[in-house]
Copies of this chain bind each other. A is one copy, B any other.
Amino acid sequence: MSVPCIRRATPDGNIERSGPVDTITLDDVARLSGVSRSTASRVINDQPGVRPDVRERVQRIADHLGFRPNRAAKNLASGRASVIGLVIPSEELRVDPYGASITHAVGRAATRHDLGLMLHLAEEVPGRTVHHILRDGLIDGLVISSVALGRPWVDELLDSSLPTVLIGRHPRRTDLASVDVENVESSAAATTHLFDQGCERVGTITGPLGRVDARQRLDGYRLAHERAGRSGRVVDESLVVEGDFRRGSAVEAARVLVGRGVDGIVAGNDEMAIGAMWACTALGVSIPGDVAVVGFDGTGSGLDTHGDVTLSSVVQPFDRLADTAVAMLNDIVEGRQVAGAVSIAPDLVVGGSSVRSA
């Protein structure tokens, strides 16, 4: 327990700071409680084997002192950091709301599990990073966004000794612990929803088809057509246009689709749905009257209305995805077994972009 720190502005407008932080250690708690360090430790960590009255006394004193265990010491002694890392491409975080949503959700999930979250931005850089991440001993494990896959050092992490959980899917490997949103059925549901609104000619703007999720969503689009086959709806391949999950690509694509007479568009994600809506609006094509639009992700709905029309979308359950991923990671870290791949169904949230008040 030392002198509290003082901060003040110096006359010349600079700022200085002195003195260490007021620190209460486990020893303080033990001494003031009249027990050993071991017992105090047990109380603090909710471990069994302490007489109830002793436990209560120690706890009260700890609370009163505002004791917080030093994480570095805890980490060193226990070999556990109580911190997890998140690997996500920096590009993703910056240009795509999906990345921000995942980061946000994992951050919240970590907090709920009483874990710190370190951010590891996946740049295109070479390899030393991996070793740093691994050997620093600063984190217990990693949540890796599948969007980060493909970078050599990220793939290297998957084979390292560090526990990892993937959010999303690996293009090839099936041996990884992963959590993913269900893509096929939910995309089919979105397409079917447009049929239900009376759309006869529904096109789709897909994500980059090198990506698993983009392909699966396209599969769902096809599946819905198969199921609606008897009502004369079949896939017109000229209405399947590949985008790149970014807004700009959908502007082009939507123009093409409008030119080919669609009355509905299933976009591979919300960013592209927004691009499509933009293009339609610019062409004087009304939404949802002339063309009904539905997206995927849920990042474009809510606050971010476009014109007066809210976007219909297959909304990813970001919080559940993140919570599941963090829980799985925790299980792996603590040596419990973990189911390999978890899939979580999203909800289709219907907004103004697809509902025709017939």
Interface residues of A (CB under 8 A from B): 4-5, 7, 9-10, 13-24, 66, 68, 70-73, 75-76, 79, 81, 83, 86, 90, 93-95, 97, 99-101, 103-104, 107-108, 111, 116-119, 121, 123, 131-132, 134-138, 161-163, 175-177, 246-248, 251, 278-279, 281-282, 284, 302-308, 332, 335, 337-340
Contact = CB atoms under 8 A, between A and B. Distances in A.
Nearest to A138: B71
Contacts of A93: 100, 103-104
Contacts of A306: 247, 251, 278
Contact of A104 (B22, B97, B118, B121): B121
Contacts of A302: 95
Contact of A13 (B108, B163, B340): B340
B305 A248 contact: yes
Count of this chain's copies in the oligomeric assembly = 2
Contacts of A23: 135
Contacts of A81: 72
B101 A100 contact: no
A165 to B, nearest CB: 10
Contacts of A7: 161
Contacts of A131: 66, 68
Contact of A337 (B16, B86, B138, B177): B16
Contacts of A305: 247-248, 251
A73 to B, nearest CB: 5
Contact of A15 (B95, B101, B119, B338): B338
A339 B14 contact: yes
Contact of A72 (B75, B119, B281): B75
A337 B15 contact: yes
A100 to B, nearest CB: 5
Contacts of A123: 108
Contact of A307 (B99, B282, B338): B282
Contact of A335 (B17, B73, B251, B282): B17
A161 B304 contact: no
Contacts of A97: 94-95
Contacts of A104: 90, 93-94, 121
17 contacts: A5-B161, A9-B340, A10-B337, A15-B175, A15-B176, A17-B335, A21-B134, A68-B136, A72-B73, A73-B76, A90-B104, A90-B107, A94-B100, A107-B119, A107-B121, A111-B121, A117-B118
